[in-house]
A and B are shown apart, each in its own frame.
Chain A
Amino acid sequence: MSDEFKIEIVNPEKSFLSKKDVNEVVVPAFEGEMGILKDHISIISFLKPGIITIQAKSGEEKYYVEDGIIEFKNDTLSILTSYILNLKDIEKNKLLELLKNAEEESNKPEISDQLKYLADQKVETLKSIN
């Protein structure tokens, strides 16, 4: 029996990615990173800014996401996200711009703790890519 499952990543504009030969996916869930294998229990969770790592037969891929919702059901992992980038084609300038925006956001005095936490996560992730 193969231990592969299906993954679908959609953003509002299009279906971003669809793969059928995935062995493992690690997502930055809100309460900590979460690895998903085949036959995982049905789950709904949401994401914080971070890196999605997809281990597939065709190789490993990494994506940067800012937010999202994941749903795992019947061996299909659906990820809805409004902002996603493939780490492979990310450009240095774009990265710096994102980092600058995130830092600005986290340094705003009047934001709530939760937003501050999310912004800090963003900064940390972007720095680790850099």
Chain B
Amino acid sequence: MKLYLHYLSIHLRSQMQYKTSFFLTVLGQFVGSFTFLLSILFLMDRFHTIKGFTTAQVLLCFGTVLMAFSIAECFFRGFDSFAGTISQGQFDRILLRPRSEVLLTLCSKAELSRIGRFAQAALVFAYAIPNSGVDWTWDKILTLAFMVLSGVALFSGLFVIYAAICFFTTEGLEFMNIFTDGGREFGSYPIAVYGERVLKIFTYVVPLALVQYYPFLYLVGQAEAWWYALTPLAAWIFLLPCALLWKVGLRHYKSTGS
């Protein structure tokens, strides 16, 4: 942990060497998700509800997923951009250090400009939390926090899978975007709007619905049973197969270049 903080401070210092670039990137992050927010707002303005959910409720969903994603992307960027780490030979250097390669990959990048997206998510929460018609009792506040944290775990796990695949292909696999970027974008609406089958995929294959949809039903009062609030646990269990795949991939690592 101390090592991670040390890395973080160096990342911060070296990114602050390029202040304009940093702030432009923050701005870019913000505008990027802002246009997406706008499109949700315009669509909801036109149709008022989707599958019975109101605008504020959809925004609550959007905020949860966006916040989880931005945190995961900020801290787990090392896995997300792993293809580059391998092709530039930086992973060789990681293997030359007497520390866990997972830890050092985690440390290798921290994209602090993701704060642009994070800020957006916070603003959306500021609007959606009071307007979503949820009666904010302690258990619901905890549930929301749990949803965000589990979302971070889920997206991180997906990044790890993405990185592990790079061991085999050297290039990243674009298909994983469906679950990472796609998860962020399509997770902006409660997963059930896509119909029963998609809901099943996002429940049993990639547990996004367990993080975003079932506990959300509990929040807005459509599901009474308390265990709906605990379904995000699945995201933490999901990390196990991700770690396993990473271990398998590591054995296949072929260093590149001279």
Q: Tell me, yes or no, whether A binds B.
A: no
Q: Please give the residue numbers on chain B whose beta carbons come within 8 Å of chain A beta carbons, in ascending order.
A: none
Task: List residues of chain A with CB under 8 Å of any chain B CB.
Answer: none
